[in-house]
Amino acid sequence: MSLNKKNKQPPDWGLIGLTTFFIFVGLVMIADVSLVQAEVTFGDKFYFLKRQLVWVILGGSLALIVSRLNYHLWSKIAKITFLSGLGLLLFVFLPKIGVTAYGAKRWLNFGFINFQPVELMKLGVIFFFAKLADREEALPLWQELIFLAMPVGLILLQPDFGSAVLLISITAAIWFFGGKNLFGLSTLTVLSIVLGMILILSSPYRKQRLMGLLDPFYDPQGKSYHAYQLALTLGSGGIFGQGMGNSRQKFQYLPEATTDSIVALIAEEFGFLGITVFVCLFFLLVGRGISIARNAPDKFGQVLAGGITALIAFQGLINLGAVAIVLPLTGMPFPFVSYGGSSLITLLTATGILISISRHTSSS
């Protein structure tokens, strides 16, 4: 598929602008929230801010480079990416390299870098299933499901329920953009629900998580502590919020303040009005992604853009859902805002790809 130079468009500035906005919000909130903890733990107030900045620059540079590349590149390396992702996911179970944190094996340690292989897997899944969707003849459904089961299975072993759901959602979105039939989509849905039920009811850990969700007051000092503190954080925000910098929950009351729960602190400082604005802007961001997908010149572009948009959208939703205590907490960072290098670099790269697709919007 050759690209007509005449079809080159300017990149989607809306997407760029909104992404930048969220990165900025993230930096501000991280600075706001982590000051005390950073000082206490590392003797440097700006410890977390500095690291996030480094990742922003790294990720941003990658995004810049990637946005100028032809997106068909990703189809070519789809298989490799997918396999590497699987491989790294296996690595977490190795004693030396795999890192256990909070009872889950999600991290790999390469000397001075900690890296979450699930992030690479997200890209791998997107590339791979986008490529599959682009085939003349679709693979039989069961084959695709097996391919999906591989990373999902490994992820569930960690355990990381949230990312498993995310991958399934992304695949569903790719199938949707790729025009998959209803049968395929429903099968996926049903299977996921069944799997979900099995998993929830079989593990006491997950059942408790669910209890914590249903009622933050179930065990406020114990099992539903995080949900309880979230509720308090949100409540403290009220309509207008406490004002920037005035969060009280950030003083070690709300766990994961810089990562999973950071959006709750936005709600505390800027109130319901603030968080509504935030959510609307996120909505717009996702809208840009969908628009880029719709206007992509070819099928691969559509599904690739659709998959990436789904990644951003669902990751955000899962995080927001947990913050609003609609979904269980799953350790999923909010795109661009939460502290964390793996997620930030992956998402910025993915955004770069989106931008690259946007430059080739079909004129029809």
Residues that bind another protein (CB under 8 A): 231-239, 246, 248-249, 251-253, 267, 271-272, 275-276, 279, 282-283, 286, 313, 317, 320-321, 324-326
CB 258, CB 31: distance < 8 Å: no
Minimum distance between the CB of residue 43 and another protein, rounded to whole angstroms? Answer: 16
Cα 109 to Cα 119: distance, rounded to the nearest angstrom = 14
Task: Decide whether 37 or 114 has the Cβ nearer to another protein.
Answer: 37
Map tokens 């989106």 to a residue.
354
Cα 344 to Cα 252: distance, rounded to the nearest angstrom = 24
- Distances in whole angstroms, Cα of residue 150 to Cα of each of 8, 50, 92, 123, 125: 38, 36, 15, 15, 10
Minimum distance between the CB of residue 108 and another protein, rounded to whole angstroms? Answer: 32
Minimum distance between the CB of residue 241 and another protein, rounded to whole angstroms? Answer: 9
Provide CB contacts within 8 A for 94, sequence distance 6+.
Answer: none
The strand pair at 113-115 and 98-101 is best described as unpaired
Minimum distance between the CB of residue 253 and another protein, rounded to whole angstroms? Answer: 6
Environment class of 149 (CB within 10 Å of its CB; exposed 0-12, middle 13-18, buried 19+): middle
Task: Decide whether 54 or 326 has the Cβ nearer to another protein.
Answer: 326
Task: Decide whether 120 or 354 has the Cβ nearer to another protein.
Answer: 354
Task: Decide whether 237 or 307 has the Cβ nearer to another protein.
Answer: 237
The two tokens of residue 240 are: 């207008």
Cα–Cα nearest to 298, from 65, 82, 130: 130
Q: Compute the 3-state secondary structure of the chain and give helix, strand, coil in percent, each to the nearest 5.
A: 65, 5, 30
Cα 334 to Cα 320: distance, rounded to the nearest angstrom = 8
- Distances in whole angstroms, Cα of residue 92 to Cα of each of 26, 87, 105: 28, 9, 6
Minimum distance between the CB of residue 3 and another protein, rounded to whole angstroms? Answer: 30
Task: Decide whether 229 or 351 has the Cβ nearer to another protein.
Answer: 229
Minimum distance between the CB of residue 25 and another protein, rounded to whole angstroms? Answer: 17
Minimum distance between the CB of residue 27 and another protein, rounded to whole angstroms? Answer: 21
Cα 147 to Cα 82: distance, rounded to the nearest angstrom = 10
Task: Decide whether 74 or 228 has the Cβ nearer to another protein.
Answer: 228
Minimum distance between the CB of residue 342 and another protein, rounded to whole angstroms? Answer: 24
Task: Decide whether 115 or 253 has the Cβ nearer to another protein.
Answer: 253
Task: Decide whether 233 or 342 has the Cβ nearer to another protein.
Answer: 233
